[in-house]
Chains A and B, each alone.
Chain A
Amino acid sequence: MSDQTDNDILLSVRDLVVEFPTRHALLRAIDGVSFDVRRGEVLGLVGESGAGKSITGAAIIGLLEPPGRIAGGTVTLDGQRIDGLPLDEMRKVRGKKIAMIFQDPLTSLNPLYSIGRQLVETIQTHMDMSESEARARAVSLLEDVGIPAASERLDAFPHEFSGGMRQRVVIALALAAEPELIIADEPTTALDVSVQAQVIALLKRLCADRGTSVILVTHDMGVIAETANRVAVMYSGRIAEIGPVADVVHEPHHPYTVGLMGAIPDLDTEGDRLAQIQGAMPRLDRLPEGCAFNPRCPRRFEPCATKRPELMPVGASLASCFLHDPAYADLLPREAAE
């Protein structure tokens, strides 16, 4: 991770803590997450459901579901802190600087308004444009995302589009005000497999053309491997490992990442059964002591059950695992020390 003042860095998240007060307990959904997003890069955010990846995205854009709230840490965009901004200020960030794409294109569009109206409304909120200028821009956005006969379809309603087409409209809406960062929260999970790759490719191309950064939230390592420049693996509200995508995929350092990679079908190593990680991710109200992964970890050793590992450099990546902590090197089980 480079210096915070680096001009290359668009978004910087430091020690982010998100809490959900419930009737029974105060749940920490995100517990001390830090990462940077560089200009023009695609950062993948992966993990099982409940790992906190979507909540991280929602926290950045300030749309946590109540009673969830940011309880600590900072979010800095272009050198300006955006966590805890007053609502009016935050509204100027949303859509204009950070846009968000949600999982289900079927429910992301208001069924009662034509897509043109929703586009024009968004464009005019952020850009000083007349109705006809905004409509012209809406048409060109729809053309950019590959909607055929865009000018005719401007007045169509969401239900007149297929799922893949609707997600393209959603992408057009996200791009409407030329944001610097797009948070895409499982943008293809709800789509047919056949159109998933197209939509991802489209998103990647559009963002590359415009120099827009992307945080791609997904549980699909395959998508990440194809799309992202860097990837952060999340587990129980913390980052287990973060690094360049090639390193994390081919040379994972955290045992959880190792397990995750083993769970991807790989055509090269045929015959092997898919590796599985034993057990399930713990519930937020029953987090174990020490490293949250330790009860499932095949390489658990002495410090794991009592101390919590911080991110530490391993090769080109960072991993939060005591296996890579020089301070515990002498306690390592023999086979791991090789």
Chain B
Amino acid sequence: MIAFVLRRVFQSIIVLLIVGLIAFLMFRYVGDPIESLLGQERTFEDIANLRERLGLNDPFIVQYFNFLLGAVQGQFGISYRAGVPVSQLIAERLPATLELAFVSGLFALIGGVALGVYTALRRKGVIATTIMTASLIGVSLPTFLIGIALIWVFAVELQWLPSNGRGEVVAIGGWTTGFLTSSGRASLILPAITLGLFQMTLIMRLVRSEMLEVLRTDYIKFARARGLSARAVNFGHALKNTLIPVITITGLQLGSIVAFAIITETVFQWPGVGLMFINAINFVDIPVMATYLMLIAVFFVLVNLIVDLLYFAVDPRLRVERPSSK
């Protein structure tokens, strides 16, 4: 097991190095850092000084290494547009994105598993077929249209919920949270549904098909043949087996929530890192773009590692050495 985890960590580091390289290349070659940092009034001497100071004259590998070193220490350069360190921008905006991602991930997970189990157990039922048909259409709807539809109904027509921003936030240390105020919680609802709906549909369909598969297995038949209650069979035996393959894909889905947050944050003007990224693209603010890329990569890699570890926790077959013969 330790060997396996080490291998995964090694693979993750490779991925991070590659993403770091892309970020570095962007940093170094897309858009001219000299152009961006010095104004119109500049002398050749200024340029030469700055080149030397930024290390632009060093060999490629040295520059890359210094870039990585800086990144590890949380130095990502200075935003062309805002003129402040990117790390500061990220620190201000990350709580908003993480809170949104957390709530919608929870929503997607609970809703997806519950609906998946329901539609698998009531395969022929009217409600289940309706849910399945709706999900089929739901998957092909663009996220931003769902967000707009929710705004239209719940913010414009019914005026129940706010349609943009985070509402009032409370600062705790360096973290700003919307969980503690009623306007903060109300502001979370529509964005969280928008962001979680697509993932929920995917998880639901996955849970359903896996559950149907498991319900056909011999050990479920054998559990029934032993007279166990439907509850024990469906939730004790079938559900746990269903969740094993679901964990991987669900983990990856939840990982991509942070990336999909870009769209939701734009629709709801949610002041998170996604909105920051969109603005960075608009203004070709390379340091911010590159940093966002690395942030997402780190997040994905972490989620992947957690998923792998969860596997060990759930599946006893992985915990022990396999017997020599089957």
Contacts and interface: CB of A to CB of B under 8 A. Distances in A.
B227 A92 contact: yes
Contact of B225 (A94, A111, A114, A161): A94
Contacts of B326: 106, 163
Interface stretch (A118-126, A235-243, A258-266): A118-126
A110 B237 contact: yes
A92 B225 CA distance: 10
Interface stretch (B127-135, B290-298, B299-307, B310-318): B310-318
A96 interface: yes
Residue in A61, A95, A96, A104 whose Cβ sees the most chain B Cβ within 10 Å: A95
B219 A125 contact: no
B218 A61 contact: no
A99 interface: yes
A137 to B, nearest CB: 14
B235 to A, nearest CB: 12
A160 interface: yes
Contacts of A174: 226
B240 interface: yes
B228 A121 contact: yes
B73 interface: no
Interface in A66-97: 87, 91-96
B259 to A, nearest CB: 32
Interface string B224-260: 1111111010001100110010000000000000000
Contacts of A103: 218
B217 interface: yes
A160 B324 CA distance: 10
B322 interface: yes
A63 B221 contact: yes
Contacts of B103: none
B232 A121 contact: yes
Contact of A159 (B227, B229, B323): B323
A159 B323 CA distance: 8
B237 to A, nearest CB: 5
B320 interface: yes
B219 A95 contact: no
B226 A173 contact: yes
B229 A125 contact: yes
A159 B316 CA distance: 9
A110 B241 contact: yes
B316 A95 contact: no
Nearest to A170: B222
A110 B225 contact: no
Contacts of B315: 111-112
Interface residues of B, number: 28
Contacts of B221: 63, 102
Interface string A152-177: 00000101111100000010011011
A11 B2 CA distance: 55
Nearest to A91: B227
B25 to A, nearest CB: 46
B325 A162 contact: yes
A99 B224 CA distance: 10
A210 B240 CA distance: 35
B276 to A, nearest CB: 43
Interface in B184-237: 217-219, 221-230, 232, 236-237
Nearest to B317: A159
A94 B222 contact: no
A104 B218 contact: yes
Nearest to B224: A63
A99 B225 contact: yes
Nearest to A174: B226
Contacts of B222: 100, 102, 108-109, 170, 173
Given A63-B224, A87-B230, A121 B236 contact: yes
Nearest to B217: A107
B224 A111 contact: no
Nearest to B237: A110
Interface string A171-195: 0011011000000000000000000
Given A108-B218, A121-B236, A93 B227 contact: yes
B228 A110 contact: no
B226 A122 contact: yes
Residue in A91, A112, A122, A176 whose Cβ sees the most chain B Cβ within 10 Å: A112
A122 B228 contact: yes
Contact of B229 (A91, A111, A114, A162): A91
Nearest to B214: A110
A91 B228 CA distance: 7
A88 B272 CA distance: 53
B217 to A, nearest CB: 6
Contacts of B237: 110, 113
A159 B324 CA distance: 11
Contacts of B240: 112
Nearest to A105: B218
Nearest to A104: B218
Contacts of B323: 159-162
A107 to B, nearest CB: 4
Contacts of A100: 222, 225
A111 B237 CA distance: 10
Interface of B: 217-219, 221-230, 232, 236-237, 240-241, 244, 314-317, 320, 322-323, 325-326
Q: Which 4 A-B pairs have the closest CB atoms?
A: A95-B227, A94-B227, A100-B225, A95-B226
Given A94-B226, A99-B225, A159-B320, 18 more contacts: A63-B224, A92-B227, A93-B227, A99-B226, A102-B218, A102-B221, A108-B218, A110-B237, A112-B241, A112-B244, A121-B236, A122-B226, A122-B227, A122-B228, A125-B227, A163-B326, A173-B222, A174-B226
Interface of A: 61, 63, 87, 91-96, 99-100, 102-104, 106-114, 121-122, 125-126, 157, 159-163, 170, 173-174, 176-177
9 contacts: A61-B225, A63-B221, A87-B230, A95-B228, A109-B222, A112-B316, A122-B226, A160-B320, A162-B325
